[in-house]
Amino acid sequence: SYVLTQPPSVSVAPGKTARITCGGNNIGSISVHWYQQRPGQAPVLVVYDDSDRPSGIPERFSGSNSGNTATLTISRVEAGDEADYYCQVWDSSSDHRVFGGGTKLTVL
């Protein structure tokens, strides 16, 4: 089955840029989706299809995907961005949905 690898944690100062990676075999050839999960809350979709944003998601959230790594970039980080972030893909060979292990974003 397809495996997605995320760093357990990323730290960033307010106002700076955070980059959260999601590694997978030739992940650049498939669509990657990203979710934000604040403590005690359900996940929220923040980026879909590598780089598209649902309505209501700030432009500060962006995504890219190439080669073996997809990246979620959060610009001008705010305290409210502190959360767990998960990448997710569709494994077409099995029709299964796969999540990465999650990355805890800490705003210093």
Partner 1 sequence: QVQLQESGPGLVKPSETLSLTCTVSGGSVSSGSYYWSWIRQPPGKGLEWIGYIYYSGSTNYNPSVKSRVTISVDTSKNQFSLKVSSVTAADTAVYYCAREGSSSWFLDYWGQGTLVTVSS
Q: Which spans of this chain sit near partner 1 (rule: CB under 8 A)?
A: 1, 31, 33, 35, 37, 41-45, 48-49, 54, 84, 86, 88-90, 95-102
Task: State the nearest-atom distance from the C-beta of 43 to partner 1, in Å.
Answer: 6
In the complex with partner 1, the residue whose CB is nearer, 48 or 82, is: 48
d(CA 40, CA 42): 7
In the complex with partner 1, the residue whose CB is nearer, 17 or 106, is: 106
d(CA 108, CA 96): 36
Which amino acid is present at 47? V
In the complex with partner 1, the residue whose CB is nearer, 17 or 94, is: 94
Task: State the nearest-atom distance from the C-beta of 93 to partner 1, in Å.
Answer: 12
Q: To 10 degrees, the CA torsion angle through 18, 23, 28, 32?
A: -70
d(CA 34, CA 47): 5
In the complex with partner 1, the residue whose CB is nearer, 48 or 60, is: 48
Q: Token pair for residue 20?
A: 């959260």
Task: State the nearest-atom distance from the C-beta of 10 to partner 1, in Å.
Answer: 15
